[in-house]
Amino acid sequence: MNEFYLKVYEIVRKIPKGRVTTYGAIAQCLGANRSARLVGYAMNLSHQFDPTIPAHRVVNKNGLLTGKHHFSTPTQMQELLEAEGIQVKNNQIKNFEKLFWNPCE
């Protein structure tokens, strides 16, 4: 287990309800600005040992739910977001810039 993954999980768990962040923001917070893919990959690995991570609050830079196919059902991610008050349209989070949460704060 690398420190990188642990930090990723720690940050994701810190994401407030009703807020979202991006892979790139997390990577940048960890000092690995060019390793956004690793964040997504860490999420993919996360479910096999720590499923409690709210991965639905992590989206790509455009606010798109790129990882929805990795959930139990392709619609679960959107449903979880909507359950927290986040509006999703066409796989994209509405008002994404305002809902965005900076993990470094």
**Is there binding between residue 43 and DNA (CB under 7 A)?**
yes
Determine the Cα–Cα distance for residues 3 and 98; give it in Å rounded to an integer: 30
Cα dihedral angle (13, 26, 59, 88), rounded to 10 degrees? 70
Q: What is the DSSP letter of 70?
A: G
Among 8, 11, 29, 55, binds DNA (CB under 7 A): 55
**Is there binding between residue 45 and DNA (CB under 7 A)?**
yes
**Is there binding between residue 81 and DNA (CB under 7 A)?**
no
Angle at 101 between CA 47 and CA 6, to 5 degrees: 35
Among 19, 66, 91, 100, binds DNA (CB under 7 A): 66
| Interacting residues toward DNA by CB under 7 A | 2, 22-25, 32, 34-41, 43-47, 55-56, 58, 60-62, 66-67, 69-71, 77
